Amino acid sequence: MRKSTISATILAVLIGVAGSISLVQADDAILAQREQAMKGMGAQMKTIKDLVGSGGPAGDVVAPAQKIAEIAATIPGLFPEGSGGDEVRPEIWQNWNDFVAKAQALGNEATMLAAAAEGGDMATVGAQFEKVGGACSACHKAYRE
């Protein structure tokens, strides 16, 4: 009887450890996806900033602006409840609807930036680019450490 109790205890511990490892791996995976998305968005922002600063062709802003909009649509899914991370405030999950609204606002501003770029006027593109940056900042101020 004692041997089966010990075996059952060992099995329970192993199952618990395996479950913990799976959760850690899942957290690591989502954190890596989140980091990749944010760095990707930052790279697109830099591309646009350089184009706006140099007076480059407005049409060259369309693709990076569209990419920002695409990434913005994925943001809520990159922050499952409790996923944490070094730069994430818990207020994200306490104010989830606001967080989602800020991600949507970023996507909307980026979509409007792509439309402005298609219009060809770099002054309009520059003004809309500032709005995209403002949408990024609004979320960072509220939810990033």
- pTM (2 decimals)? 0.81
* DSSP-based three-state secondary structure for 84: coil
**For residues 103 and 25, what is the distance between their CA atoms, to the nearest angstrom?**
26
- For residue 109, say whether it is annotated as part of any ligand binding site: no
Q: Is the pLDDT of residue 141 over 50?
A: yes
Amino acid at 95: N
Six token digits for residue 39: 């760095």
Confirm or reject CATH 3.30.70.20 for domain 36-143, answering yes or no: no
| 3-state SS assignment for residue 89 | coil
Under the banding of pLDDT at 50, 70 and 90, the label for residue 56 is: very high
Check pLDDT > 60 for residue 98.
Answer: yes
- Distance between CA 137 and CA 50 in Å, rounded? 19
Domain boundaries, the chain: 36-143
Whether residue 73 has pLDDT greater than 50:
yes
Backbone φ and ψ of 144, nearest 5°: -115, 140
- Residue 34 pairs in a beta bridge with none
Nearest Cα residue to 92 out of 144, 136, 134, 33? 144
Per-residue confidence band for 57, with pLDDT thresholds at 50, 70 and 90: very high
pLDDT at 93 over 60: yes
Give the model's confidence band at 24: pLDDT under 50 very low, under 70 low, under 90 confident, else very high.
Answer: very low
Tell me if 136 is assigned to a ligand binding site.
yes
